[in-house]
Homo-oligomer: A and B are copies of this chain.
């Protein structure tokens, strides 16, 4: 029974890593499609969403089976219930990548508005946050989880900076408005992906420190680290 439990748990971890890799790839491709103005690549992102959705269903089933048959306790129980939430977060990141791919296809029909600098940087950060949040979850690496939260502040700053820049485009030339709005939406989708990765990192802290970081008063040290960035 004990051995069987660890095999099932190992399977769950592997599926979660597959799911994270798929989401990370979709974000990369969506931004690649935007930069290269490549509709075919955007279509690949849209097509890949089915696999991500199927992985979500599989992970839910693996979690339910573990809960129903193994009666896990303490840290194992917390790991599995957190996996259910994290699964949901990953699937939503996949949806955001699809949103970016769809916006890209609209942008590709028009002249480029400006060279893209902040958006690729945001995408790179978001991808690394997805990877590291999942790695920290699987390996119980609280320091790595913390580093994800720190990067979230950088993504938020880039999002604000880009918003202000695009606003000046819109104000100075109304022919730029629809394209600038599209880029604002791309940026917001990346920011949402980074937020979701941060949720995962907070969940890791909760599991491994058995301490609620989200919304909790007793998180002074963590808040200090976040506010230093």
Which residues of B sit under 8 angstroms from A181, Cβ to Cβ? 167, 181, 184
Do residues B67 and A81 form an inter-chain contact, with CB atoms below 8 A?
yes
Q: Interface-forming stretch among A51-59, A103-111, A131-139, A148-156?
A: A51-59
Q: How far does the alpha carbon of A131 sit from the alpha carbon of B68 in the complex, in Å? A: 30
Do residues B50 and A63 form an inter-chain contact, with CB atoms below 8 A?
no
Is residue A174 within 8 Å, beta carbon to beta carbon, of the partner chain?
A: yes
Q: Interface-forming stretch among A8-16, A21-29, A70-78?
A: A70-78
Interface range on chain A (Cβ under 8 Å from partner):
20 to 34
Known A174-B174, A177-B170; contact A64-B77, beta-carbon cutoff 8 A: yes
Is residue A88 within 8 Å, beta carbon to beta carbon, of the partner chain?
A: yes
Q: How far does the alpha carbon of A85 sit from the alpha carbon of B88 in the complex, in Å? A: 8
Q: How far does the alpha carbon of A112 sit from the alpha carbon of B59 in the complex, in Å? A: 48
Which residues of B sit under 8 angstroms from A85, Cβ to Cβ? 84-85, 88
Do residues A68 and B77 form an inter-chain contact, with CB atoms below 8 A?
yes
Tell me the chain A residues, 66-103 only, with Cβ under 8 Å from chain B: 67-68, 71, 73-74, 77-78, 81, 84-85, 88
Is residue A215 within 8 Å, beta carbon to beta carbon, of the partner chain?
A: yes
Chain A 175-217 interface 0/1 with B at a Cβ cutoff of 8 Å (1 = within) = 0011001001000000000000000000000000000101110
6 A-B pairs (CB sep. < 8 Å): A67-B77, A81-B84, A88-B88, A167-B177, A170-B177, A171-B174
Q: 10 closest Cβ contacts across the A-B interface? A: A53-B215, A71-B71, A170-B177, A171-B174, A85-B88, A68-B77, A81-B84, A84-B84, A57-B212, A174-B174
